[in-house]
Amino acid sequence: MSSKVTIVTGIQVESTSTPATNSAISAGLSVTDVRKDYPTPAEPLVVLRGVSFSLAAGERVAIVGPSGSGKSTLLNILGTLDEPTAGQVTLDGVNPFSLRSKALAKFRSEKIGFVFQDHHLLPQCTALENVLVSRLAFGNVSDADAARGSELLKDVGLEGRATHLPAELSGGERQRVAIARALMNRPRLLLCDEPTGNLDTRTGQAIGELLIRLATESQAILVAVTHSPALASMFPRQMGMVDGRLT
Ligand code: ADP
Ligand code: MG
């Protein structure tokens, strides 16, 4: 079979006659027997009791479960904001917890986008500046960055709102800015923790549709934690979480 160059996660690899090359296997998100305990003066509080799943590029999944079941803990571990007590996470073949702190910060910034229940926008910055905030942190914003930021604001339906401050936007609009910000660095993994939790039903549905459309277009893996059956039903795949285990 002729050898052809394919792009897997930004790395050029020679494809072979076997589709399941190592690169193909490692692309995407892989979670293996992840456990998380928090120490307490008595016995450790066990929050995740062995979570395993894998998602390919472009897969979209909703995680639903009662409060306190460990959903945010899992999302924080997938986002490398918290370390598992045991088990393994790899994103595009890289175990982020094997990286030193500077490399881990770079990995997180380049590979992962976050949308939280609260928008966490900087109140003194405009919508566009909030979208560009990850670039501002590293120095000057290029013309190409600014153009991408404007394009993203257009994608989320906020054309003409670039110079508005968060206080001048509605809750749904603020969440749209947060989504544009999360997509700025073209993440491979988009993590959303109750992204519609502060929104009314109709606005929440529009935000859910937007997240799913933009993640699909960019072939990012989308993992959203939600209490909302309406939001969860928009996803092609749902996973339940009960008492630290996926159901
Ligand atoms: P969910 O998002 O499903 O509501 P969480 O993942 O936030 O649940 O929390 C699961 C459990 O872990 C809760 O009992 C919570 O109190 C506990 N927990 C979360 N974070 C910490 C922490 N930093 N220290 C101690 N316990 C924690
Ligand atoms: Mg939570």
Q: Is the CB of 81 under 6 A from ligand 1?
A: no
Q: Which atom of ligand 1 is nearest to the CA of 70?
A: 6
Q: Is the CB of 101 under 6 A from ligand 1?
A: no
Q: Is the CB of 69 under 6 A from ligand 1?
A: yes
Q: Rounded mean pLDDT of 227-243?
A: 95
pLDDT tens, 207-222?
Answer: 999 999 999 999 999 9
Segment holding 14, helix H or strand E = strand 11-14
Reply yes or no on whether the pLDDT at 5 is more than 60: no
Among the ranges given (47-51, 81-85, 189-193, 200-204), the one the predictor scored with the smallest mean pLDDT: 200-204
Q: Which atom of ligand 1 is nearest to the CA of 82?
A: 23
Q: Ligand 1, residues 64, 72, 73: which to mutate, most atoms within 8 A of Cβ?
A: 73
Q: What pLDDT does 136 receive? A: 81
Q: Which CATH number fits domain 5-246: 3.90.110.10, 3.30.720.200, 3.40.309.10, 3.40.50.300?
A: 3.40.50.300
Q: Per-domain residue ranges for the chain?
A: 5-246
Reply yes or no on whether the pLDDT at 108 is more than 50: yes
Q: Where are the alpha helices (DSSP H) in the chain?
A: 22-26, 71-78, 101-111, 127-131, 133-136, 143-155, 171-183, 201-218, 229-232
